[in-house]
Chains A and B, each alone.
Chain A
């Protein structure tokens, strides 16, 4: 089994880099060594060793000359291979994209480059981000560092695996139904899906354009804020202190079917939050049972619209499972797509109502720990559930509604697999969600031995 070897957080490393106690070159070399030593995880599609070292040396020179740009200066990060990095192929983990080279940086990458970040490579993903296990990739599956026979989650699975194995300090992922938060939970890191519209999706291969989000994947909430601020081109935001915290807990539907270990860890997390002074109240999303049908019709139809030309011209270049899901979207009728858009507005109103007068919602990120690679279904409670359906079940709502949400590790199962706790913030308040998450992070992240009672 690979041994997870997390780097310190960016917030811990940045001051050392600024004062010259740690060089960007040494840090980048450490990441490149970790990439080479953990090749079995298949976390990267493209490794940018030479250019990363050149960027790192340039950062060290600038810092030595007193031109420190800020906390990402000299920090090695990776980019999901769905996002354009100038001069580098954006493969989307698909043979369909062979020959593509990005002509310019996507806006989020341009902001990171301006901040002095070092790009160590492009990470593996589920083909075209259209899946949640990372198994269907033209470059082979990425693997979970906690158990390489298991999925790291997806679609940003390579990004999460790379952070856990010390191959980078952070990564940039995308999230259309949970693709940042799912691998964050499955691998034990922090994953932020900002409010829809906070970060530009230009220069990102679309999946379902009205559901797509870009966001940071990091070791800590503080690091997620550092990246979020840079990616949106804003000055650093200061965490605001929180004193009294009211959270809504949507039990029906969201807690109905959970793996026993996930339930134990989540229940213990809620107790710790109560011990910390949070007021936690039950809330309801009255039409939660409609989430999956609504999500399915929006996501399938939008993905099919984008891929139709390639499905007709070069269908054999898709992996078969992804090709079939894309083809399925071509059968969605216009009236049902529009009906789903209407249902989406209903769900948005209901999430807003659940959040009214509260700082956030709290719920598990996933109903199960990381599933075994190759599994079609997983046991949940007394039955079984298709893996795809289980992994999307608790995250996809917030892509439909656009609310900001974040996954924070809340302990590990008795088999050593991480689980995540999801916080959801009010519409338009990603920074407030980050305040909340940073305030609660020490209580959510269980101290060893206090993961369950």
Chain B
């Protein structure tokens, strides 16, 4: 799911469930999720980039 769509759906769901106070927290979470998805240690399925950190010894099986 793309993050903008996710945020829209999450906001609507929180509103429907009477959790209006969740709105600013969802904004915080989406900022953190964007940062997580931008991190350079994420896998690149195109194989065009390789992050040294992502291929370190702590990495699990792929």
Contacts and interface: CB of A to CB of B under 8 A. Distances in A.
A197 interface: no
A239 interface: no
A317 interface: no
Contacts of B21: 320, 324
A336 B58 contact: no
B57 interface: yes
A294 interface: yes
- Looking at B22, B29, B57, B58, which has the most chain A CB atoms within 10 Å of its CB? B58
A322 interface: no
Contacts of A289: 35
Interface string A292-307: 1110110010000000
A225 interface: no
Interface residues of A, number: 29
Contacts of B6: 331, 333
A332 B37 CA distance: 13
Given A287-B41, A342-B42, A349-B58, A336 B25 contact: no
Contacts of B36: 290, 293-294, 297, 336, 339-340, 343
Interface residues of B, number: 28
Nearest to B32: A293
B56 A346 contact: yes
A419 to B, nearest CB: 28
Interface in B21-41: 21-22, 25-26, 29, 32-33, 35-37, 39-41
A331 B26 contact: yes
A345 B26 contact: no
Contacts of B32: 292-293, 296-297
Interface string A325-342: 101100111001001101
Interface SS of chain B: helix
Nearest to B17: A327
A166 B38 CA distance: 49
A349 B39 contact: no
B60 A345 contact: yes
A442 interface: no
Contact of B33 (A297, A325, A349): A297
Contacts of B35: 289-290, 293
A387 to B, nearest CB: 14
Contacts of A287: 39-41, 53
A328 B19 CA distance: 10
Interface string B43-62: 10000000001101111100
A324 B25 contact: yes
B53 A331 contact: no
Contacts of A20: none
A328 B58 contact: no
Given A300-B29, A324-B21, A346-B58, 18 more contacts: A287-B40, A289-B35, A290-B36, A293-B32, A293-B35, A296-B29, A297-B36, A320-B21, A324-B19, A328-B22, A331-B6, A336-B33, A339-B42, A346-B53, A346-B54, A346-B59, A349-B58, A352-B58
14 contacts: A292-B32, A293-B33, A294-B36, A297-B36, A327-B14, A327-B19, A331-B13, A332-B33, A333-B1, A339-B42, A342-B59, A343-B36, A346-B41, A350-B53
Interface of A: 286-287, 289-290, 292-294, 296-297, 300, 320, 324-325, 327-328, 331-333, 336, 339-340, 342-343, 345-346, 348-350, 352
